[in-house]
Amino acid sequence: MNHAALSDKGIVYLVDDESVVRDALVFLLGSRGLIVHAFDSGPALLNFLVDVARPVRGVFVLDVRMEPMSGLQLHEELNALGLRNPLLFLSGHGDIPMVVEALKKGAFDFLEKPYGDNKLVDRIEQALAVEAASYVHDAVVHERAARLASLSDREREVMKRVAAGKLNKVIADELHIAVRTVEVHRARVFAKVGVRSAAELAGWLAAA
């Protein structure tokens, strides 16, 4: 699982209105093999995300002081879009109070300017690792949720009882349906959830 996540390395979404810094960081991160998407303003990033129209993989690296939209505002916007990717701020000294506030609001970390060295890249990689891990976790959770969502109400009732180890006949009695019907539901639940036995089903549910 970890291996799969690393091979599928996330992207660094970098937003800085200073082209000098932006280009330098793209170069630095690229030298460490990271993929960087750089934007010159918050709205540019937001436009991109809206165009993509799906959750993106990777981390956000935002400069704090930008015009017209500051890094903090951009953070709020990203939160509003439901994007929970790790987020790092590039901050000058004067921005520290704001950054502290941002950290409280869920930012991953801040990267102090002008210290553009490999420690900075290391921090971004850590963020990426966190993102990758949460992505995998998210993926499992999503899948489980999706599979559960695909069940009909009747199938869910049947599933609960199957997982509890009840026999088809008992289930049929309890739900006042024919045993044959229970068998059909059971087969569908197994197919939708992706298990082959009642024990496997119980294990799948317990992992949640």
**Contact between 122 and another protein (CB under 8 A)?**
no
Interaction mask 89-118, another protein, x per CB under 8 A: -x-xxx-xxxxxx-----------xxxxxx
Q: 14 with 39: CB under 8 angstroms?
A: yes
Half-sphere exposure of residue 15: CA atoms within 13 angstroms, side-chain side = 29
Among 2, 6, 8, 23, binds another protein (CB under 8 A): 23
Among 27, 105, 140, 143, binds another protein (CB under 8 A): 27
C-alpha to C-alpha distance for 69 and 46, rounded to whole angstroms: 11
Give least dist CB 153 to another protein, A: 39
With CB under 8 A, what is the number of residues at the site for another protein? 32
List all residues 6 or more positions away from 105 whose beta carbon is below 8 Å from its beta carbon.
75, 79
Among 14, 121, 159, 198, binds another protein (CB under 8 A): 121
**Contact between 148 and another protein (CB under 8 A)?**
no
CA distances 2 to 32, 56, 57, 124, Å, are: 20, 19, 15, 18
Give least dist CB 75 to another protein, A: 13
**Stretch (H or E) spanning 58:** strand 58-63
C-alpha to C-alpha distance for 118 and 123, rounded to whole angstroms: 8
Candidate ranges 47-55, 65-73, 123-131, 195-203; the one touching another protein (CB under 8 A): 65-73
Tell me which residues touch another protein (CB under 8 A).
18, 20-21, 23-25, 27-28, 30-32, 65, 67-68, 90, 92-94, 96-101, 113-118, 120-121
